[in-house]
Structure 1
Amino acid sequence: MTSKPNFDRNIFRYRSINSLLGERAELENQSIYFAPAESLNDPMEGLRRVVWRGDRVTWRNLLRNYVICLENRITQALLHRDDETLDANAISVFQTLDNVPTPQMRDFLKQCIQSVEQTELHTTLLDFLAGAERDISFTELKQHLRLVHFHWLQIIQKAVSDQGFMKARNSLEFDEASMAANLRAMQNLLPKLAADHGESVLEAVFEVQEMVSASIGLHTAFNNSETASHKKQSLIFDFPSEYLRCLLKLIYPPWYVACFSKRHDNVAMWSYYANEHNGCCLIFRTLGDPDQQTLRLRGARGFQASRGEQSRVFREGQDLELRSVNYTSEHPQLEFFSNLGRISQKDAMDGWFTDDDGKVSPLSSHLTDPTATEKWRGEHWDRFLPPLLSKHPDWRHEEERRVVLHDNLGILDKPEDRTFTYDFDTLEGIIFGMNVKMSNQVKTLQIIEPKLVNRSSDRPFKIYQARYNSRTGKMDCFELDLTTGAPTLPSC
């Protein structure tokens, strides 16, 4: 047993044996996978309190976008089996009337929009939203869309069936006048509630409404489960909330993370991330200053095309910054219409800030003045990263460091494109969990041994064994000396 290890310049990555030695073969391939946000263990990661504060032009265009996406969703449903659930991330929020593939499709979408906009419920909802003159929260907007969703779904389904793309359905009775009256009553009531009790009471009102809607929705789905297929339930009950979550894609690009820790001695992390202490902890050597550490990884960097060939993603080594995670339960607020950062200026102006008569919304001022645009763009991207480095305080024990990638170019869509590799010189050692089977330790050494031949680092590669220290209440480790002679085992 040697002296206590010195890990001052190291960062740690907990892995299960299956990840290291199984199908993904992370140790053999020297690979690090960057996970999408939806697969992380804290659903609050990257969370922003997005609000909507628009005028009649922007709200009308949002409702049109909803109709376009709903029509596309109905088409998707026609291509799926009844027992399939529709992909929550496949809602076409980037679709506009200007980028549909055919003139016939554009005319049909215009017809769907016109049919919805002629209804009393649409006019009432548009009046309500445009006249609010306050921030509309995610929760509130979701409730408004749920209110109109089934009515608009029936209108669009009828339009699709009239085109012969689906069988005609018997429309359920819908008291549109009553729903519109309720919206107008709410429009009159909410300002009085805000004046008497403050605007925070409005969010509480819609949170209660969401609870009631969730109960009614579940009750309805359960009672109709024999006749309502999975895809039908997706279309009827899930679409409004899934649409809003997808709509946020118009603000920032998708992002991916590889997670590390400053700690190798936390019992809970060994249990959670290393499969009940049956996994390992990889020890990486960092570069750069202590306050700005980096990790050298090789992965997708951009597009490259040779003459006459199709563009392809090229990979190269990159010094990627390891950023500290901030543990907080607070989340920044972001206004939607003024932060459409993932679409071109032309698409934003044509699709969101201009009406049919060519009237331009004054909310587009950050795009019409070049000086204001440059300032807005800088501030917009300054706000991108901080929420991606936040987790709930309950995770503080992890002392996490992470590498964050964002994908403006569309080069990280596939899991294989998000799998980066490290030079073996970067890996300084490995700690076996206290429950790792001997056979898996041997397999690990068999992978490592030939890699050491080409290792150029002057720092020795070390193997450690984790153990629980009852005096400190933490995990510690001791170095395994593999230079001593080993006896030959008898045959069994």
Structure 2
Amino acid sequence: MTSKLDFDRNIFRYRSIDSLLGGHAELENQSIYFAPAESLNDPMEGLRRVVWRGDRITWRNLLRHYVICLENRITQALLHGDDETLDPNAISVFQTLDNAPTPQMRDFLKQCIQSVEQSELHATLLDFLANAEREVSVTELRQHLRLVHFHWLELIQKAMSDQGFMEARSSMEFDEAGISANLRAMQDLLPKLAEDHGESVFEAIFEVQEMSSAGIGLHTAFNNFENASNKKQSLIFDFPSEYLKCLLKLVYPPWYVACFSKRHDNVAMWSYYANEHNGCCLIFRKLGDPDQQNLRLKGARGFQASRGEQSRVFRERQDLALRSVDYTSEHPQLEFFSNLGRISQKDAMEGWFTDDDGKVSPLSSHLTDPTSRERWLGSHWDRFLPPLLSKHPDWQHEGERRIVLHDSLGIHDKPADRTFTYDYDSLDGIIFGMNVKVSDQVKALQIIQPKLVGRSSDRPFKLYQARYNSRTGKMDCFDLHGITSAPTLPNR
């Protein structure tokens, strides 16, 4: 039986047999895929408590940005079939008036904005937000956008049909005056509630509203299911929430992770990540000292271009940091308007901090003063990584370590460019799950054995078989001694 000391320099990666031997052929390709945030198993990973604290200029520009993105979303819907659901990550949050593809498109977006801004509901909502003088939570802002979304959707669609971009459609009744009156009444009531109960009452109020809206939305969608296609459901019900999620792309770049574990002996992990013990646990060799440990992988590093050719991604070996995951239910707070880190200073100033008369919001001081900007940039990027290395305490049994890639330049946009490879000097061995079929073990050995020829490490490559130890309640493993050098394995 192996002792824990045998694995002091190792890190483990659980995989299913299908991942190793199936379509992805991870064992043959020696590949490790870096998954995007939205595909991770814990939706709280990377979570930040985002708040908005703005003035009239920044709030007006956010509402304009919402109109621009909504117009783009309607255009996307026109290009999709009725049975298609719109991609929740494809909302064009980097679209602005200034980077519109044509002058005609810029003029039309201005027309949509003007149509919305002439409405009573827009004026009421802008007053509500501009006079809030407090942090507006994502829950509250989502509720406000849901409140106006259907009306603004109708206004933009009418503008599009007037221009011949889509067929005219009958408008539905909308009580703009009543909703505006309710919003003004809430604006008057909230200061009194805060005085009596503290500002924490705001979040409670909007959480109750959100639960009520969810029920009403489900009821409406159910009653109109026969007449609403998938893309219409996406456009009508999902857009406000999806917009706010995509809006955070303006703050930090996309990030991708490859997950490993300090443990090879956890029953739940064998069951969850290795397909009910039918998979394997890969044993990787860590590099570096205990305070800074790395894994050597080969993958996309940057762009290079030859004369007369388009830029292409180049790959090279890299020592990538293995970082420990912190298990906590606390999430750091992030203020949106002061953290627009993924757009240029020019775009931030023109698109978010300046009004039509050229007046600049005082909230832009971190960008306009050189000393403040340098200090802000440092603190902004210092806050990027910690939330990506945290999970809820319920996952603490995993003892996870992870490699994080972030991508401001689009190097890892394609799945192929998020797939890295290892060599057999980095792979020390494999543990077969206790339910792995002998036939699958043989297939794995047929792949492994020829690759060991090129292994330059003097450490022996080992194969282990997992078994449950009823005395300790953990998974043990025993060494399948000598099997990798057996000469009788059949040829592939």
TM bucket by the smaller chain? over 0.9
> Mind listing any 5+ residue stretches in structure 2 that lack a counterpart?
none
Deviations 1:418-474 (A, max 9, x none): 000112110000000000000010111111100111110010000000000011010
How much does 1:143 deviate?
Answer: 0.3
Distance 2:277 2:286 in 1: 25
| Identical columns (%) | 86
Amino acid at match of 1:431: I
TM-score, normalization by structure 1: 0.98
Distance 1:143 1:126 in 2: 14
Alpha-carbon distance between aligned partners in 2 of 1:321 and 1:411, rounded to the nearest angstrom: 18
Name the CA distance, whole Å, in 2 between partners of 1:116 and 1:378.
38
- For residues 374 and 421 of structure 1, what CA distance do their matches in structure 2 show? 37
Shift of 1:487: 12
**Aligned residue for 1:289?**
289
Residue equivalent to 2:196: 196
**Aligned-residue offset at 1:488:** 8.7
**Whole-Å Cα distance in 2 between the matches of residues 484 and 295 of structure 1?**
24
The residue type equivalent to 1:313 in the other structure is V
Superposed CA deviations along residues 312-362 of structure 1, whole A, max 9, x for unmatched, are 111111110000000000100000000000000000001000011000000
Are 1:51 and 1:333, in contact at CA under 8 Å, matched by a contact in 2?
yes
Distance 2:117 2:246 in 1: 23
Compute the TM-score of the two structures, normalised by the length of structure 2: 0.98
Please give the alpha-carbon distance, in whole angstroms, between the structure 1 residues aligned to 2:456 and 2:465: 24
| Whole-Å separation in 2 of the counterparts to 1:485 and 1:170 | 75
**8 Å Cα contact 1:5-1:478 kept in structure 2:** no
What residue number does 2:227 align with?
Answer: 227
1:108 Cα deviation from its structure 2 partner: 0.4
* Residue 2 to residue 84, structure 1, CA distance change in 2 (3 Å): closer
- Please report how far the alpha carbon of residue 482 of structure 1 lies from its aligned counterpart in structure 2 after TM superposition: 2.9
Verify: 1:109 aligned to 2:140, yes or no: no
Matched-pair contact (CA < 8 Å) for 1:68–1:113: yes
3-state SS of paired residue (2:6): coil
Contact 2:463 2:483 in 1 (8 A): no
Alpha-carbon distance between aligned partners in 2 of 1:146 and 1:488, rounded to the nearest angstrom:
67
Deviations along 1:215-251, one digit per CA (max 9) or x if unpaired, are 0000000001011111111111111101111101100
Residue 100 (structure 1) aligns with: 100
- State the AA in 1 paired with 2:122: H
User: 2:83 is aligned with what amino acid?
Assistant: D
Name the aligned partner's letter for residue 465 of structure 1: Q
Residues of 2 paired with 1:378 and 1:465: CA distance?
Answer: 48
Q: Does 1:236 align with 2:236?
A: yes
User: Counterpart of 1:366 in structure 2: which amino acid?
Assistant: H
Provide the aligned length of Structure 1 versus Structure 2. 489
Match of 2:50 in 1: 50
Q: How does 1:273-422 map to 2 (within 5 A)?
A: 273-422=273-422
Identify the residue that residue 271 of structure 1 maps to in structure 2.
271
Alpha-carbon distance in 2 for matches of 1:57, 1:407? 30
Shift of residue 83 of structure 1? 1.0
Equivalent position SS for 1:288: strand
Amino acid at match of 2:23: E
In 1, are the aligned partners of 2:465 and 2:478 still within 8 Å (CA)? Answer: yes
- Are positions 1:430 and 2:433 aligned together? no
Partner of 1:144: 144
- What pairs with 1:176-215 in structure 2 (closer than 5 Å)? 176-215=176-215
Structure 1 Cα separation of the partners of residues 471 and 310 of structure 2: 62
Task: Provide, for residues 7-48 of structure 1, a one-character-per-residue CA deviation record: whole Å limited to 9, x for no partner.
Answer: 000000000001111111111111100000011111000000
In the alignment, which residue of structure 2 is the partner of 1:250?
Answer: 250
Structure 2 CA distance, aligned partners of 1:144 and 1:483?
65
CA shift, 1:5, in A, is 6.3
SS at match of 2:404: strand
Q: What is the distance in 2 between the residues matched to 1:485 and 1:175?
A: 78
Distance 1:447 1:119, change over 3 A: same
Shift of 1:291: 1.8
2:132 maps to what in 1? Answer: 132
Q: C-alpha separation between the residues in 1 aligned to 2:415 and 2:213?
A: 36
Report whether the alignment pairs 1:469 with 2:469.
yes
AA at the equivalent of 1:445: L
The root-mean-square deviation of aligned C-alpha atoms, in Å, is 1.5
Aligned AA for 1:395? W
In structure 2, how many angstroms separate the alpha carbons of the residues matched to 1:162 and 1:174? 20
Question: What secondary structure sits across from 1:356 in the alignment?
Answer: coil
